Structure 1
Amino acid sequence: MQVRERSKSQAKNEAAQITDGMLVQRTMAGDQTGFEMLVSRYNVALFNFICHCLGDYDLASDILQQVFLQLYISMPKLRTGEPLKAWLFQVARNRCLDELRRKRAIHFSELESSSDDDDLSPLDIMPDNSPLPDETAEHNDLQRALRQAIDNLPPKFRSVVLLRYAGQLSFSEIGRTLKMPEATAKTYFQRARPLLRQALALQWQTLKATI
């Protein structure tokens, strides 16, 4: 068992040392395992971000496939000297904007416009006097409340929060994705947190009153 766990850990470390550029070069040379490793590297974070934006699991799956298809097609033109993370999330964000414009469900068209130690998970920004729910149904209610709170943020804050929480991007990567200075991304995030905390506190009090 220990040998197996050690082998998995070693394989994971070796994969992490392979840059995105190396995987692109492998793919273009005909080695499809390179593309499979790229998909595996970014699949979960991209899907979480897209699903948060669209609120539709099946549609998010379709958009994710479109993002990776665009990656495959764009490989000959990509700058392979830096990670692809910011580029992939920019593509995903643009695809989500296109979809939302078509559906006219949420107006994200205005999205154009602290240190990491202060970063908390979405549930951690709940007030201290609000206990986290243990039951699955209550947890789902809280997740819906979180999504609604994020949706109600000013557009310029919303995109930063989604990329940070759902996409797990660094502020530097968020800046490249949204074409803004890293410091601006940090500022927007810090300004959004008290708004989220206030909205979640209000919704959580309403939820508890109905239980």
Structure 2
Amino acid sequence: MQTQQEHCRDVHAKDLPDAALAQQATSGDKQAFELLVRRYQVPLFNFIYRLMGDSEESSDLLQEVFLRFYTSLPSLHANKPFKPWLFQVAHNCCIDALRQRRKHIVPFSQIETEGDDDDLSLLDAIPDDALSIEDMIAHHDLQKALQEAIYTLPIKFRAVVTLRYTSNLRFSDIGRILNMPEQTAKTYFNRAKVLLRKSLSADILALR
């Protein structure tokens, strides 16, 4: 049976910031590691699922992420932001899995210089007179349609949108996770919103 002292310690540990728990985990504290796992298993699964589109595969990849987290503990830097690092691990796992599906994945180092002008001119031609993406997300009836639309986005856009909406990350953190400048992450996000508006236009009209 848990003592009062142990209970108070557990409550205190749950309130600790990520950096403190990560530091304790690197020192061999299993409870700190387990708390971080519980804290991030849902947002990480949501992120992975929106990239992969398969719940069983997403569960397997989630375990892979936590395994990489555990094996990285000895080399984890205390001054490195934990949440962006963990989502970067998840993103890398997803990219590895997508490559194994033999799908063509454009390296993020090339995204900044290849095809941007053509993509921009194409997206600029799409009218922007629909509801905002924020309004779409707030509307319960469009939740499923929005998730499906996000999955149809190119992987470079899908990752940015997912990190922004489901993980509430800043663009500076998103850029760090995806190895791209902050401004590039913002650009992809805005282009993705245009594509989502187009994809969901029929659903929007049905609500009017």
Q: Is the TM-score greater than 0.5?
A: yes
Residues 53 and 151, structure 2, Cα contact 8 Å, conserved in 1: no
CA distance in 2, matches of 1:120, 1:74: 37
CA distance in 2, matches of 1:98, 1:199: 27
CA shift, 1:161, in A, is 0.9
Root mean square deviation, CA, Å: 2.9
The residue type equivalent to 1:18 in the other structure is P
The residue type equivalent to 1:110 in the other structure is V
Question: TM-score, with normalisation over the residues of structure 1?
Answer: 0.70
Pick from 94, 104, 109 the counterpart of residue 105 of structure 2: 109
CA distance in 1, matches of 2:150, 2:50: 9
Gap change, CA 1:119 and 1:185, over 3 Å in 2: farther
CA shift, 1:168, in A, is 2.7
CA distance in 2, matches of 1:99, 1:78: 24
CA shift, 1:191, in A, is 2.4
Pick from 49, 52, 61 the counterpart of residue 50 of structure 2: 52
CA shift, 1:144, in A, is 4.4
Which residue in 2 is equivalent to 1:195?
A: 195
Identity %: 47
CA distance in 2, matches of 1:121, 1:109: 31
How many pairs are equivalent?
A: 176
Residues 50 and 151, structure 2, Cα contact 8 Å, conserved in 1: no
Residues 111 and 156, structure 1, Cα contact 8 Å, conserved in 2: no
Which residue in 2 is equivalent to 1:65?
A: 63
1:183 counterpart = 2:183 = yes
Flag structure 1 segments of 5+ consecutive residues without an equivalent.
1-10, 125-131, 134-138
Residues 47 and 162, structure 2, Cα contact 8 Å, conserved in 1: yes
CA distance in 2, matches of 1:120, 1:16: 30
Residues 97 and 108, structure 1, Cα contact 8 Å, conserved in 2: no
Which residue in 2 is equivalent to 1:35?
A: 33
1:153 counterpart = 2:153 = yes
Flag structure 2 segments of 5+ consecutive residues without an equivalent.
1-10, 112-131
CA shift, 1:111, in A, is 5.8
Question: TM-score, with normalisation over the residues of structure 2?
Answer: 0.71
CA distance in 2, matches of 1:143, 1:103: 27
Identify which range, 183-192 or 30-39, moves more after superposition: 183-192
CA distance in 2, matches of 1:36, 1:165: 25
The residue type equivalent to 1:76 in the other structure is P
Which residue in 1 is equivalent to 2:21?
A: 23
The residue type equivalent to 1:58 in the other structure is E
Pick from 114, 122, 137 the counterpart of residue 123 of structure 1: 137
CA distance in 1, matches of 2:31, 2:90: 22
Determine helix, strand or coil for the equivalent of 2:28: coil
Identify which range, 193-202 or 68-77, moves more after superposition: 193-202
